[in-house]
Amino acid sequence: MKSRSTGGSSCNASSNCSKFQAEVYCHHKLSAVLRTAKKGVNEGKMFYGCPLWPKNSCGFFVLVNDLGADATLSHHCNKNCCEDQVLKLKTKNEKLKKELWELRIELKKRSRGEKVALIGLIFSWIFFALCWMLKKN
């Protein structure tokens, strides 16, 4: 996540003006939108959220009070990114574990089938040899 300080005092209609305005990017790498919470535990607090909310939101949410300086913002955003990556990797890991388990089961089934086929081949050779020896005598 990138952040940068802009010296301007631009505001939207639903927010209070502040001397420090930060440009914040969501997980989609889009400029986050400054909003005010209308209900819940954060009612009345300003926060940055994904501009694609509610349809295609990446879940990005940072309270303005939590930002502090750019360094804090950068750390917070990187932490959120890392948490998302960890979650994605855990999900991928679970899928790979399931796929590995299925492949092991398939391998066991095939190796059993190969053993049965090999035993059948050996018995057929023995049967052929016995028939050949009986025919010869």
Amino acid at 62: V
Q: What is the mean pLDDT of residues 108-131?
A: 89
123 against 11, higher pLDDT: 123
The pLDDT, as a whole number, for residue 19 is: 40
How many residues are listed for the chain in this entry?
A: 137
Structure tokens at 132: 């050949």
Q: Would you say 78 and 90 are in contact if contact means Cβ atoms under 8 Å apart?
A: no
Q: What is the mean pLDDT of residues 122-131?
A: 92
The pLDDT, as a whole number, for residue 29 is: 82
For residue 49, give the nearest of 89, 88, 77 by alpha carbon: 77
Amino acid at 73: L
Please report which confidence band the pLDDT of residue 75 belongs to, taking 50, 70 and 90 as the band edges.
Answer: very low
Taking CB atoms within 8 Å and a gap of at least 24, the contacts of 4-10 are: 4/70, 5/70
The pLDDT, as a whole number, for residue 98 is: 94
The pLDDT, as a whole number, for residue 64 is: 81
Q: Would you say 36 and 14 are in contact if contact means Cβ atoms under 8 Å apart?
A: yes
The pLDDT, as a whole number, for residue 80 is: 64
118 against 74, higher pLDDT: 118
CA separation for the pair 94, 82 (Å, rounded): 18
Q: Examine the pLDDT at 134 and tell me if it is beyond 70.
A: yes
Look-up: residue for tokens 């299925």?
102
Residues with Cβ within 8 Å of 14's Cβ and at least 6 positions away in sequence, in order, are 35, 36
Q: What is the mean pLDDT of the chain?
A: 75
